[in-house]
């Protein structure tokens, strides 16, 4: 695994709360210098307007019950690498590479050791069948996996129980909001491919922030609300290639990188690094890229003030 990517571009973001600037690095697996990319979040921008509309409709829970039913229907297939969750299985090594690199850098861990996350308490929000929770546990983390679908949790527990390294994972059928009520806190909070399925992204991010210790880390991945994403993540993936069941995603539920950064900022999480995922149809593999036009992942830290 190559952990020596050069970070060759910086994402300039305006902090909409006070007009201050900060830098969020882009990852690249290329050693070639690329042009500077700038994404600006402005108080009068569409990103801000979208955030305000989301916030107006805030409820006590960010759950979207139709989405829960959708995933409950295919819960038995979580560990079928050729089933409906095949795209996540194929993407998992690349997601883990980003998580390993950013968390090790933030917490001062050695990314090259066998258990780089030893001593870290991590929660996997929207864990599904545990395809991310298990490798995190194998890397030494104390892992809690939570999902609102009971069937997902049963599948995750059953699969993790077959391996001593993963049998220690604490799986709970609950929500991020309920964990906040229980006053749970974690060194790192991870929510991959989850935020596009919740009813209230702003409320969801507030819960993620509340679960994070001061100075702790957050990793969130999702799909950009772009026309390219509509063409690839919905039309191609669901209707042409049949990688995913039809109706898995709603384009209107996607967030742009600017919107996600703004929502996280208002939840006291500062985005530090961002990367895109790019699929190579010739190799059948995903790689990290500076192209955040479709799938992207963000690393942030909770403010200490």
- How many CB atoms lie under 10 A from the CB of residue 271? 24
Task: State pLDDT tens for residues 148-163.
Answer: 999 999 999 999 999 9
Q: Give the contacts of 277 (CB within 8 A, at least 6 positions apart).
A: 91, 94, 95, 221, 286, 287, 288, 289, 294, 295, 296, 297
Task: State pLDDT tens for residues 192-246.
Answer: 999 988 989 999 999 999 999 999 999 999 999 988 877 877 676 667 766 667 7
Residue 269 in this model has a pLDDT that exceeds 90: yes
The structure's pTM equals: 0.79
Query: Annotated binding site for S-adenosyl-L-methionine: which residue ranges?
Result: 95, 126, 147, 192
Residue 291 in this model has a pLDDT that exceeds 80: yes
DSSP secondary structure code for residue 195 in this structure: G
Q: What span, in angstroms and rounded, lies between the C-alpha atoms of 122 and 115? A: 14
Q: What span, in angstroms and rounded, lies between the C-alpha atoms of 162 and 157? A: 9
Query: Annotated binding site: which residue ranges?
Result: 95, 126, 147, 192-193, 196-197
Query: Annotated binding site for Mg(2+): which residue ranges?
Result: 193, 196-197
Extract the tokens encoding 249: 């995603």
Top mean pLDDT of 13-22, 40-49, 263-272 is at 263-272
pLDDT for position 140: 98
Task: State pLDDT tens for residues 77-99.
Answer: 899 999 888 888 999 999 999 99
- H/E element holding 33? none
Q: How far does CA 164 lie from the centroid of its chain?
A: 26
Top mean pLDDT of 30-39, 121-130, 247-256 is at 121-130
Contact 165, 60 (CB under 8 A): no
């Amino acid at each position: 695994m190559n952990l020596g990517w050069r970070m060759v571009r910086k994402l300039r973001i305006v902090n909409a709360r006070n007009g201050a600037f900060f830098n969020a690095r882009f990852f690249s697996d290329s050693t070639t210098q690329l042009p500077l990319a700038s994404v600006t979040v402005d108080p009068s921008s569409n990103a801000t307007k979208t955030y305000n509309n989301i916030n107006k409709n805030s409820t006590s829970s960010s759950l979207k019950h139709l989405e829960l039913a959708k995933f409950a229907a295919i819960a038995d297939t979580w560990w079928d690498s050729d089933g409906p969750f095949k795209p996540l299985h194929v993407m998992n090594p690349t997601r883990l590479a980003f998580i390993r690199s950013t968390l090790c850098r933030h917490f001062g861990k050695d990314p090259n050791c066998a258990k780089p996350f030893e001593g870290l308490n991590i929660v996997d929000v929207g864990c599904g069948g545990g395809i991310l929770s298990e490798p995190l546990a194998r890397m030494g983390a104390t892992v809690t996996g939570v999902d609102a679908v009971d069937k997902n949790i049963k599948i995750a527990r059953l699969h993790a129980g077959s391996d001593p390294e993963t049998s220690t994972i604490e799986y709970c059928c609950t929500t991020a909001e309920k964990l906040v009520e229980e006053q749970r806190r974690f060194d790192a909070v991870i929510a991959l491919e989850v935020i596009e399925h919740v009813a209230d992204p702003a409320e969801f991010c507030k819960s993620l922030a509340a679960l994070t210790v001061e100075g702790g880390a957050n990793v969130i991945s999702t799909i950009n609300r772009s026309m390219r994403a509509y063409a690839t993540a919905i039309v191609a993936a669901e209707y042409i290639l049949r990688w995913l069941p039809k109706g898995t995603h709603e384009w209107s539920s996607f967030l742009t990188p600017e919107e996600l950064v703004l929502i996280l900022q208002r939840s006291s999480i500062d985005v530090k690094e961002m990367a895109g995922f790019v699929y190579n149809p010739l190799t059948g593999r995903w790689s990290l890229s500076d192209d955040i036009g479709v799938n992207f992942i963000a690393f942030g830290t909770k403010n200490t003030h």
